[in-house]
Structure 1
C-alpha cells in the first residue's frame, strides 16, 4: 500500500510540474510577451551602442590629446589669434578695388 501511495504522489507532482512548465512557456510565446521581449532587447542594444559610442569618443579625445602633446600643438605661446580682416584691397596705389568678405552658397538646390 505504501508503494502505491508513493508512486501516486510522485506522478501527481510530476503532472503539476509539467503543467506549470507548459503554461509558463505558453505565456512566454504570446504575441504581447514576444513584443515586450523584443522591446527590452532593443532598449538594451541601444544602451550598449550608446556606451560604445561614448567610449569611442573618450578614446578619440584621449588620442587627440596625446598627438597634440607629441606634436607640440597643445602648448600655445600666443594667447589669441589675430582678428580676421573684413576688407581686402587689390590693385596699385592709384586704382584700388575693395572686395568685401562675402559668403557664397554652393547649394545646387537654391534658385539663382
Structure 2
C-alpha cells in the first residue's frame, strides 16, 4: 500500500511539474510575450550602441589630445575656434595648362 501511494504521489508531482513547464513555454511563445522580449532586446541593443559610441568618442578625444601633444599643437577650446578665412580661387591663364580656358575640352561631357 505504501508503494502505491508513493508512486501515485510521484506521478502526480511529475504531472504538475510538466504541466507548469508546458504552460510557461506556451506563455513565453505567445505573441505578446514575443513582442515584449523583442522590445527589451531592442532597448538593450540601443544602450549597447550608445555606450559604444560614447567609448569611441572618448577614444577619439584622447587620441586627438595625444596627437596634438606629439605635434606640438596648441588646440583652442571648442567654443573659441574660428573658421579660417575663406580663400577665393583666382582664374589665371596658366601657359602650362594643356587646355586653355577657351577650349571645348570638358572631362564631364558625354563622349
What is the TM-score normalised by the length of structure 2? 0.67
Q: In the aligned structure 2, how far is the partner of 1:39 from the partner of 1:68?
A: 43
For 1:46, the equivalent position in structure 2 comes to 46
Pair 1:73-2:99 in alignment: no
For 1:30, the equivalent position in structure 2 comes to 30
Q: Between the two structures, name the one with larger relative contact order (CA 8 Å, sep ≥ 6).
A: 1
Query: How many pairs does the alignment contain?
Result: 80
CA RMSD of aligned residues (A): 2.2
5+ long unaligned stretches in structure 2: 86-111
Q: In the aligned structure 2, how far is the partner of 1:38 from the partner of 1:21?
A: 22
CA drift of 1:75 comes to 7.0
Q: In the aligned structure 1, how far is the partner of 2:39 from the partner of 2:75?
A: 49
5+ long unaligned stretches in structure 1: 86-112
Q: CA 1:3/1:70 → structure 2, altered by over 3 Å: closer, same or farther?
A: same
Q: List structure 1 segments (4+ residues) > 6 angstroms apart after TM superposition.
A: none
1 or 2, which has the higher strand percentage?
1
CA drift of 1:59 comes to 0.1
For 1:12, the equivalent position in structure 2 comes to 12
